[in-house]
């Protein structure tokens, strides 16, 4: 019963792939609306299947012996390396994959609908929807993978979809550069991922998740006791795999591509760079969590990087003026939270609180971050600018956008009863249990989050009334549908008892409400909101005065700590000028030069030797006589011996 | 056998002739003179054959036969050489061997 | 007439028929038909091969024909195929067929061009079916020498220089190779018995170690030069750049694989002990080739040079895999030969099409071409993604197989070398996306390019066939990988002894 029902999920991938193929190949011959409709129908279909699968899994058939099981309704051998190392293509149904199904299809469906309004009339409308279908296909394939290599395959496909969508406005050089940067940074990260996979599979002799995972898996035991340069082998392997995740999830120092990725259309930013692709790294760690438990050094690294990144990004977000950049750094910061939560987590029951909190936050964050981006899109659509400095007082013109944006802002700031409060709270509890320093850092970041979010909110929707050249109009219906749906979601999903569904070992557990954590977190959020209100709600340049009073810090934050400049310097000066160009020169002049040199030597020798053929009869005669004499002498000499 | 003259003495003559001929071949400029030098060499070899036959193997005739053949071939070769020289003269109006050098690199 | 020798006969016949016509239109038609027949023949051969294997025929070589050619030296005309050679034949058949379409626009001395091109193809087909070293060498020479004419007459740029350099370097390699082959021949019967050139027979014999140590480097380098092994790869950039499109396609796509095939089948298979001893040195060269080739590509501005250095890099992977002594890695090497052949042929075809429109190969002079030539632009992006190893295309399958196989060797030296080679995928992404970004995206740089035509019917035939095969293998690799893996087993069983 279960397997048949859940095997319907394979249709998700089939339908989405065909949507991509049809719209991609024939889109320019169809009317744009039809192309959009094909893609949207495909994703809505997928969403329906996802919701029904979630319902049946969580409420009916998923629980076996008190534990949510890992079900595999579909699997097919794809490429065989050896008897044990096989890449299978399959579908896996387990708590986190079902959760991701819901998240991805929901946000993707909303983005599809929203884009009818946002991308209306744009050139390349069909191409846009084709790529959206490709992305949805790849992302869903990634979360449903049964096999580590299958996940890698879809991981790469997700990367390509992202490249194509960031570079959608390909006439703009900045977009082209951004897409290239995104792909190359994530590819570099994927290098670590690949090496990690290769090493892991060498020891465990399998790629298959059912064999690799679970408390009694062979993964940990196969590498037990091995170490390299003082750190256990399993930790090395898992850190390498994490490197891939860090790239996709824009963790420091591989975060540089995400702000630039805002060059893509805003719905793309909502879908890919807020809610789905960027959480792939978190998903990866969650998926392999039972192996990570055996690699505590790796988890420590993950926790540290998560915490550091969340603080780092939040500081930068405080000074940015482009709405999308603020949201991008906010995303990086929130994903840092998710990584931290995983890093401090244990396994099983209450120990696994961090895991549960991370997944919960992934879920809620997807809802409200997508909403924030789509709302920002509505604002940009109305005002034709990305910059907060050119906006203000928009609450009068964009009422629905305003309300939904406010809900999302409250959610991300962790104000109850909105979604973010519950998930962030659980993370803080887990952090406190592991290391108070992490707790205080994330507590502070929560305050910063509230601050920069409401800075954004107040600057855009309140403040002085500007004279807009064209009166800003509210978003069209298609966009509003998405905003409203996600707004309701952001308000409500906090109440889902997540620990009954998604846990580190599949066994539900109960969570208790910790007032000693909740109150400080609400408190710091209110403080942040208050400061933002004080600075941006009133007229007068309080903000500018603060900026000029701390010029060093302000500049560092505004310029994103100059990390981009460092990368550019490394790639241009060192790699291009310092390594690639000299190699090309060396190849042309030294290696090829030696080949040419051999030819030159041959020519020189030939030039000298040809003088023997002088055409002079008597010279030939001389040679013959000398030769004959030499020959005779030789014979005599040898004869005498 | 000839009274009073030994093999060695005759061989001295023929060797002298041989090397004079070679010297002439290598040094002289005129093609005709080179041809004469070649004849000297051939004839010196003939003398060698005859002397060995007469003094060392008196009852055999191979040496004489070979000498006769050599004379005949020398004559033929001289004829061909003269023909070549005549043609060279017609082409180049001179028969200096240093000018006959078109077949070079 | 056995069906394998038909593979040599059909092209020969095509050449003869072409010789009777001077009109370019007729010549092209005959060439297309001839090579089409050849491709169909190969497809039938593939099916027949599968049928034989499925019926349980497990002999190493199938469809064998063996005719004594020169009794006293025991030279035979011996032909036969196994899974690996049939895959290579398929590759060649496809690329030669596509190459005819890519040469559709040649007007100058069309008849001679196609005759020389098909002569080259004949040599390649013959090479892959040969079982006798002498016959193999003969076909090898037959394949290499027409390159001189093809580049020197129909090429562009410093064509005489490139043609001369290419031919002389490859001839130098052939000289080494000949010494190697003769060395193998004279050591082919260490326990007494008749000397033989048949490499299947020789592979069953253990050549004495001193002989192996001397002749292995000669043979390996001899084949390696053709496979663009560092530091003897420099004929490749200039050669490819100056060659006309179809010639580049054939050369990079097929001819350079003769080197890989030879290195695997002959150098390593016949002299495995020496290969083990000397592997470290050649591994270093292969790693340098892979990484250095990719870095060199980053600095290039000419499309053909980018692709030529890219080929050096990807071929380095083949040689690297061949030195891993691991069945999975060898399977990967063969897959990479096929995959890279198709992808590089696609690239050269596209570059030729772009060049014939813009009359420049310098990417700095082009920009925004995606808007002007969407079909060609998208095809180029597909080729680019295929080349950097995106899943869904054949290169991913090939490269991953190589990496997985190589990782099975546990010594630190090989591990480090493998990691370096894996890192070349990042550099590949850099130069591919850089070139595509400058050339296809951004604003249109040269106003005159705005009116350029997109792909014509013969361009589309060439491009779509290649993309189709690359994607087909990329999405459904099982049949091919299983076929190659199975047919590598006899070789490995012997090498294990």
> What ipTM was estimated for this complex?
0.91
In this structure, the strands spanning A67-68 and A63-64 are antiparallel
Minimum CA–CA partner of A621 in chain B: B26
**CB-nearest partner of B104 from A613, A621, A625:** A613
Task: Quote the pLDDT of residue B1.
Answer: 66
Evaluate whether chains A and C are touching (3 or more beta carbon pairs less than 8 Å apart): yes
pLDDT tens-digit readout, C267-293: 888 888 888 889 999 999 999 999 999
Mean pLDDT score, A450-473: 81
User: Which residue is closest to B25 within chain A, CA to CA?
Assistant: A618
Q: Which residues of A touch C292 (CB under 8 A)?
A: 583, 587
Chain A CA closest to residue C444: A171
B93 vs A: CB within 8 A: no
Residues of chain A with Cβ-Cβ distance to C407 below 8 Å are: 198-199, 201-202
Q: Is the pLDDT of residue C497 over 60?
A: no
Task: Name every chain A residue with its beta carbon within 8 A of the beta carbon of C422.
Answer: 191, 194-195, 198
pLDDT in tens, C139-163: 999 998 999 999 999 988 899 999 9
The answer to whether the CB of C166 falls within 8 A of the CB of C152 is no
Instruction: Give the pLDDT of residue A2.
Output: 58
| CA distance linking residue A185 with residue A193, whole number of Å | 13
CB nearest A610 (choices: B98, B102, B105)? B105
* Among the ranges given (A218-222, A451-455, C113-117, C183-187), the one the predictor scored with the smallest mean pLDDT: A218-222
Could you please report the per-residue DSSP string of A469-529?
SS---PPPHHHHHHHHHHHHHHHHGGGS-GGGT--SSS--------HHHHHHHHHHHHHHH
CA distance linking residue A584 with residue C292, whole number of Å: 9
- HSE toward the beta carbon, residue A519, CA cutoff 13 A: 3
Does C386 score more than 80 pLDDT?
A: yes
Nearest to A81 among C169, C371, C401 (CB): C401
Residue C312 CA to residue B91 CA, distance in Å, equals 59
Site from C158, C298, C372 to mutate, A interface, most A CB atoms within 10 angstroms: C298
Decide: helix, strand or coil at residue A290: helix
pLDDT the model gives residue A550: 76
Which residue of chain A is at minimal alpha-carbon distance from C445? Answer: A171
Alpha helices in A27-124 (DSSP H): 32-56, 95-118
Q: Judge: B25–A618 Cβ closer than 8 Å, yes or no.
A: yes
Of the residues A611, A621, A626, the best mutation for testing chain B's interface (the one with the most B CB atoms within 10 Å of its CB) is A621
The residue with tokens 């020398």 is: B74
pLDDT band at C443 (very low <50, low <70, confident <90, very high): confident
Cβ distance B97 to A613 less than 8 Å, yes or no, reads: no
Residue A211 pLDDT = 83
Cα atoms in the 13 Å half-sphere on the side-chain side of B5: 10
Kindly report whether the global pTM for this prediction surpasses the value 0.80: yes
Q: Could you tell me the sign of the dihedral formed by the alpha carbons of A179, A185, A187, A190, in that order?
A: negative
- Cβ–Cβ < 8 Å for C295, C286: no
* Cβ distance of A587 and C169 shorter than 8 Å: no
In chain B the first and final C-alpha atoms are separated, in Å, by 54
Burial C217-251 (b: 16+ CB within 10 A, else e): bbbbbbbbbbbbbbbbbbbbbbbbbbbbbbbbbbb
Grade residue A16 by pLDDT with cuts at 50, 70 and 90: very high
Report the share of chain C in percent with pLDDT over 90: 53
Total Cβ atoms within 10 A of residue A482? 30
What gap in Å lies between CA A570 and CA C430, rounded to an integer? 14
Give me the pLDDT at residue A33, please: 86
Question: C163, C345, C308: which is closest to C233 by C-alpha?
Answer: C308
Of B27, B34, B101, the CB nearest to A615: B101
Asked whether at least 3 C-beta pairs link B and C within 8 Å, the reply is no
Residue A551 has pLDDT above 90, yes or no: no
CA A48 → CA A102, A141, A362, distances in Å? 9, 17, 21
Report the distance separating Cα C358 and Cα C447, nearest Å: 11
Shortest distance between the Cα of A586 and any Cα of chain B, in A, equals: 37
User: What is the model's pLDDT at position A113?
Assistant: 93
- C195: alpha, beta or left? (left if phi > 0; alpha if psi -120 to 50): beta
- A608 vs B: CB within 8 A: no
CA A430 from centroid of its chain's CA atoms: 24
Q: Which among C238, C299, C478 has CB closest to A584?
A: C299
Whether C422 sits inside 8 A of A194 (CB atoms) is yes
The pLDDT of residue A539: 66
Per DSSP, C265 falls in state I
Q: Is B touching A (3+ C-beta pairs, cut-off 8 A)? A: yes
Which residues does C60 contact at the CB level (< 8 Å), separation at least 6? C82, C200, C487, C490
Strand C62-70 to strand C75-81: parallel, antiparallel, or no bridges (unpaired)?
A: antiparallel
Burial class (CB in 10 A: 0-12, 13-18, 19+), C208: exposed
| Residue of higher predicted confidence among A545 and B101 | B101
CA torsion through residues C288, C290, C293, C298, sign? negative
pLDDT at site A213? 83
User: What's the pLDDT tens digit per position in A320-332?
Assistant: 888 999 999 999 9
Pairing of the two strands A86-93 and A67-68: unpaired
CB contact under 8 A, A575 and C235: no
Confidence of residue A313 (pLDDT cuts 50, 70, 90): very high
| Separation between Cα atoms, residue B55 and residue A298, nearest integer Å | 109
Q: Does A622 touch chain B (CB under 8 A)?
A: yes
- Would you say residue C321 has pLDDT above 60? yes
Alpha-carbon distance C454 to C440, whole Å? 13
Q: Are residues C292 and A202, on separate chains, in Cβ contact within 8 Å?
A: no
Tell me the C-alpha distance between C231 and C219, whole Å. Answer: 16
Instruction: State the nearest Cα–Cα gap between A584 and chain C, in angstroms.
Output: 5
Mean pLDDT score, C314-326: 92
Residues of A in contact with B102 (CB under 8 A): 615
Nearest chain A Cα distance for residue C390, angstroms: 7
C295 or A219: which leads in pLDDT = C295
pLDDT the model gives residue A566: 85
Q: Are A287 and A209 within 8 A, CB to CB?
A: yes
Residue contact B97–A616, C-beta within 8 A: yes
The pLDDT of C330-344, averaged and rounded, is: 94
Q: Which chains touch A (3 or more CB pairs under 8 A)?
A: B, C
C-beta separation of C157 from C233 below 8 A: no
Question: Hey, of A607, A608, A615, which one would you mutate to test binding to chain B, going by the most B CBs within 10 A of its CB?
Answer: A615
> Which of the residues B23, B25, B30 would you substitute to probe the A interface, choosing the one with the greatest number of A C-beta atoms within 10 Å?
B25
Cis, peptide link before residue C231, omega less than 30° from 0: yes
Question: A231 pairs with which residues across the strands?
Answer: A228
Q: What is the pLDDT of residue A131?
A: 93
- Count the neighbouring beta carbons within 10 Å of the beta carbon of residue C22: 11
| pLDDT exceeds cutoff 70 at C1 | no
| SS3 call for A322 | strand
* pLDDT above 60: residue A534: yes
Position A465 scores a pLDDT of 67
List C30's β-bridge partners, or say none.
Answer: none
Q: What percent of chain C is predicted at pLDDT more than 70?
A: 99
Does A199 contact C407 at a Cβ distance shorter than 8 Å? yes
Is residue B31 predicted with pLDDT exceeding 80?
Answer: yes
Q: What is the mean pLDDT of residues A513-519?
A: 81
The CB density around residue A208, as the number of other CB atoms within 10 Å, is 23
CB contact under 8 A, A615 and B104: yes
- pLDDT per residue over A236-279, tens digit each? 889 999 999 999 999 988 999 999 999 999 999 999 887 788 99
Residues C34-78: tens digit of each pLDDT: 999 999 999 999 998 888 888 887 777 888 888 888 888 888 888
State yes or no: pLDDT of A3 exceeds 70.
no
CATH of B7-99, one of 3.40.50.12280, 1.10.3430.10, 3.20.20.80, 1.10.287.3510: 1.10.287.3510
Distance CA C153, CA C156 (A): 9
Q: Look at residues A523, A326, A337 and name the one whose alpha carbon lies nearest to residue A423.
A: A337
pLDDT in tens, A29-66: 888 888 889 999 999 999 999 998 888 888 887 777 77
Q: Please, which contacts does C412-415 make with residues 24 or more away whose CB atoms are closer than 8 Å?
A: C413/C280, C413/C283, C414/C283, C414/C324
- The DSSP code sequence of C352-420 is HHHHHHHS--BGGG---HHHH-HHHHHHHHHHHHHHTT-TTSHHHHHHHHHHHHHHT--SHHHHHHHHH
**Cβ contact, residue pair A617, B104, below 8 Å:** no
A156 to chain C: which residues are within 8 Å by CB? 390-391, 396
Q: CB A622 to CB B101 under 8 A?
A: no
Report how far residue A105's alpha carbon sits from residue A367's, in angstroms, rounded to the nearest whole number. Answer: 11
Scanning the structure block, which residue is given the tokens 């001179």? Answer: B94
CA distance A569 to chain B (A): 59
Q: Which residues of A touch C420 (CB under 8 A)?
A: none
Q: What percent of chain A has pLDDT over 70?
A: 97
pLDDT digits (tens, 9 = 90+) for C48-59: 888 888 888 777
| Cβ-based contacts of B98 with chain A (< 8 Å) | 616, 618
Question: Which of A173, A201, A591 minimises the CB distance to C234?
Answer: A591
| Phi, psi for A80 (deg, rounded to 5) | -110, 125
Instruction: Show the beta-strand stretches assigned E in C420-491.
Output: none
pLDDT of residue C409: 85
- The set of residues, in sequence order, having a beta carbon less than 8 Å from that of B1 and lying 6+ positions away, is B54, B55, B58
Q: What is the mean pLDDT of residues A401-426?
A: 89
Contact residues, chain B, for A617 at CB < 8 Å: 34, 97, 100
Tell the residue number behind the tokens 């047919």, with chain if given. C487
Check the CA dihedral A376-A381-A382-A384 and report its sign: positive
Contacts of C26 (CB under 8 A, 6+ apart): none
Q: How many whole angstroms separate alpha carbon C126 and alpha carbon C103?
A: 23
Provide φ and ψ at C493, rounded to 5°: -65, -40
* Backbone Cα Rg of chain B: 17
Give the residue carrying structure tokens 């399998």: A206
Return the bridge partners of C75, or none: C70
Interchain proximity B98–A610, CB inside 8 Å: no
A465 burial class (0-12, 13-18, 19+ CB within 10 angstroms)?
A: exposed
Kindly report the average pLDDT of chain A as a whole number.
87
Q: Are A273 and A350 in contact (CB under 8 A)?
A: no
Cβ neighbours of residue C496 closer than 8 Å, sequence gap 6 or more: none
In this predicted structure, what is the pLDDT of residue A25?
86
Q: Is A625 on the interface with B (CB under 8 A)?
A: yes
The predicted-structure confidence for A289-302, as pLDDT tens digits, reads as follows: 988 888 888 999 99
Mean pLDDT estimate for chain C: 90
A355 Cβ neighbours under 8 A, 6+ residues apart: A286, A289, A341, A342, A345, A347, A503, A504
Degrees, nearest 5: CA angle A488-A492-A498: 140
The distance of C22 to chain A (nearest Cα, Å) reads 38
Mean pLDDT, chain B, rounded, equals: 92
């Amino acid at each position: 019963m279960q397997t048949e029902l859940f095997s319907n999920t394979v249709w998700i991938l089939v339908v989405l792939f065909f949507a991509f193929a049809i719209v991609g190949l024939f889109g320019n011959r169809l009317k744009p609306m039809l192309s959009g409709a094909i893609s949207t129908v495909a994703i809505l279909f997928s969403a329906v299947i996802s919701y029904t699968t979630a319902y049946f899994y969580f409420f009916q058939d998923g629980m076996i012996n008190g534990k949510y099981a890992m079900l595999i309704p579909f699997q097919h051998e794809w490429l065989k390396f050896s008897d044990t190392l096989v890449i299978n293509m399959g579908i896996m149904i387990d708590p986190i994959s079902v959760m991701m199904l819901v998240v991805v299809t929901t946000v993707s469906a909303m983005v599809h609908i929203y884009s009818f309004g946002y991308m209306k009339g744009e050139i390349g409308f069909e191409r846009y929807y084709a790529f959206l279908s490709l992305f949805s296909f790849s992302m869903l394939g990634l979360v449903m993978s049964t096999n580590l290599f299958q996940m890698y395959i879809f991981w790469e496909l997700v990367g390509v979809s992202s490249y194509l969508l960031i570079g959608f406005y390909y006439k703009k050089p900045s977009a082209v550069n951004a897409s290239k940067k995104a792909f190359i940074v994530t590819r570099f990260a994927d290098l670590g991922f690949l090496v990690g996979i290769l090493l892991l599979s060498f020891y465990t002799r399998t790629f298959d998740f059912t064999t690799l995972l679970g408390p009694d898996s062979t993964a940990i035991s196969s590498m037990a006791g091995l170490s390299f340069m003082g750190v256990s082998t399993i930790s090395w392997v898992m850190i390498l795999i994490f490197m891939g995740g860090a790239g996709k999830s824009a963790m420091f120092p591989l975060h540089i591509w995400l702000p630039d990725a805002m060059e893509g259309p805003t719905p793309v930013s909502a879908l890919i760079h807020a809610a789905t692709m960027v959480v792939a790294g978190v998903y990866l760690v969650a998926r392999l969590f039972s192996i990570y438990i055996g690699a505590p050094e790796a988890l420590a690294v993950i926790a540290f990087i998560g915490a550091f990144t969340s603080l780092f990004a939040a500081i930068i977000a405080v000074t940015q003026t482009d709405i999308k950049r603020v949201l991008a750094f906010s995303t990086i910061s929130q994903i840092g939270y998710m990584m931290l939560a995983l890093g401090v987590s244990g396994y099983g029951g209450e120990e696994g609180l961090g895991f549960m909190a991370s997944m919960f936050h992934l879920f809620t964050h997807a809802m409200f971050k997508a909403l924030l981006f789509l709302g920002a899109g509505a604002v940009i659509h109305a005002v034709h600018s990305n910059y907060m400095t050119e906006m203000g007082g928009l609450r009068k013109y964009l009422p629905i956008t305003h309300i939904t944006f406010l809900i999302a802002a409250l959610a991300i700031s962790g104000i109850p009863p909105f979604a973010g409060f519950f998930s962030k709270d659980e993370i803080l509890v887990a952090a406190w249990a592991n290391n108070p320093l992490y707790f205080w850092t994330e507590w502070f970041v929560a305050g910063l989050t509230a601050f920069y979010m409401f800075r954004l909110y107040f600057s855009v929707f309140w403040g002085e009334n500007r004279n807009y050249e064209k009166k800003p109009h509210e978003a069209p219906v298609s966009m509003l549908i998405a905003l409203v749906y996600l707004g309701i979601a952001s308000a409500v999903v906090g109440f889902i008892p997540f620990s009954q569904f998604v846990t580190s070992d599949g066994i539900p557990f109960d969570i208790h409400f910790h007032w000693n954590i909740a109150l400080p977190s609400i408190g710091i959020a209110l403080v942040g909101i208050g400061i933002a209100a004080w600075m941006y709600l009133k007229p007068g340049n309080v903000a500018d005065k603060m900026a000029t009073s701390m010029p060093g810090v302000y500049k560092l934050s505004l310029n994103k700590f100059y990390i981009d400049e460092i990368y550019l310097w490394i790639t241009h000066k060192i790699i291009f000028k310092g390594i690639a160009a000299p190699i090309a020169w060396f190849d042309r002049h030294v290696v090829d030069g030696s080949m040419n040199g051999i030819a030159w030597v041959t020519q020189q020798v030939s030039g000298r030797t040809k003088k023997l053929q002088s055409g002079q009869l008597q010279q030939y005669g001389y040679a013959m006589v000398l030769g004959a004499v030499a020959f005779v002498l030789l014979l005599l000499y040898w004869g005498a011996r | 056998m000839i009274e009073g003259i030994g093999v060695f003495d005759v061989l001295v003559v023929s060797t002298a002739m041989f090397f004079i001929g070679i010297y002439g071949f290598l040094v002289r400029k005129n093609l005709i003179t080179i041809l004469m030098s070649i004849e000297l060499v051939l004839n010196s070899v003939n003398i060698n054959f005859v002397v060995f036959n007469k003094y060392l193997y008196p009852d055999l005739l191979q040496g004489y036969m070979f000498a006769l053949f050599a004379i005949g071939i020398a004559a033929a070769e001289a004829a061909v050489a003269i023909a070549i020289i005549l043609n060279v003269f017609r082409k180049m109006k001179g028969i200096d061997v240093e000018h006959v050098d078109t077949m070079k690199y | 007439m056995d069906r394998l020798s038909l593979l040599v006969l059909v092209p020969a016949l095509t050449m003869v028929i072409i010789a009777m016509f001077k009109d370019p239109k007729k010549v092209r038609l005959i060439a297309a038909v001839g090579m089409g027949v050849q491709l169909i023949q190969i497809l039938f051969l593939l099916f027949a091969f599968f049928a034989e294997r499925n019926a349980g025929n497990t002999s190493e070589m199938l469809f064998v024909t063996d005719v004594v050619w020169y009794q006293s030296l025991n030279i035979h005309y011996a032909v036969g195929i196994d899974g690996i050679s049939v895959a290579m034949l398929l590759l060649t058949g496809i690329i030669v067929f596509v190459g005819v379409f890519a040469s559709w626009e040649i007007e100058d001395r069309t008849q001679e061009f196609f005759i020389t091109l098909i002569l080259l193809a004949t040599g390649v087909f013959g090479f892959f079916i040969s079982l006798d070293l002498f016959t193999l060498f003969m076909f090898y020479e037959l394949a290499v020498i027409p390159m001189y004419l093809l580049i020197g007459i129909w090429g562009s740029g410093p064509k005489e220089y490139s043609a001369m350099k290419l031919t002389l370097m490859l001839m130098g390699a052939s000289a080494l190779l000949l010494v190697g082959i003769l060395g193998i021949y004279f050591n082919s019967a260490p326990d007494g018995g008749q000397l033989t050139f048949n490499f299947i027979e020789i592979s069953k014999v253990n050549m004495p170690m001193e002989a192996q140590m001397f002749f292995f480097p000669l043979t390996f380098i001899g084949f390696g030069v053709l496979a663009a092994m560092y530091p003897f790869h420099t004929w490749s950039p200039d050669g490819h750049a100056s060659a006309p499109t179809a010639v580049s396609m054939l050369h990079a796509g097929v001819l350079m694989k003769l080197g890989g095939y030879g290195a695997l089948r002959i150098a390593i298979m016949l002299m495995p002990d020496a290969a083990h001893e000397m592997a470290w040195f050649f591994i270093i060269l292969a790693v340098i080739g892979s990484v250095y080739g990719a870095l060199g590509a980053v600095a290039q501005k000419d499309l053909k040079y980018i692709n030529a250095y890219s080929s050096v890099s990807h071929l380095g992977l083949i040689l690297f895999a061949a030195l891993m002594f691991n069945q999975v890695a060898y399977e990967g090497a063969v897959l990479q030969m096929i995959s890279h052949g198709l992808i590089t042929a696609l690239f050269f075809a596209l570059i030729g099409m772009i060049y014939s429109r813009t009359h420049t190969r310098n990417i700095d002079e082009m920009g925004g071409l995606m808007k002007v030539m969407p079909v060609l632009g998208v095809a180029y992006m597909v080729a680019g993604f295929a080349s950097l190893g995106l899943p869904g295309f054949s290169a991913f399958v090939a490269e991953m197989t190589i990496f997985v196989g190589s990782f099975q060797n546990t010594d630190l030296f090989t591990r480090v070398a493998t990691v370096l080679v894996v890192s070349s995928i990042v550099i590949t992404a850099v130069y591919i996306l850089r070139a595509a970004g400058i050339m296809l995206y951004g604003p249109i740089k040269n106003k005159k390019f705005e009116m350029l035509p997109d792909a014509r019917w013969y361009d589309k035939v060439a491009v779509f066939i290649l993309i189709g095969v690359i994607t087909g293998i990329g999405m459904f690799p099982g049949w091919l990988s299983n076929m190659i893996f199975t047919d590598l087993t006899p070789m490995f069983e012997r090498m294990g002894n």
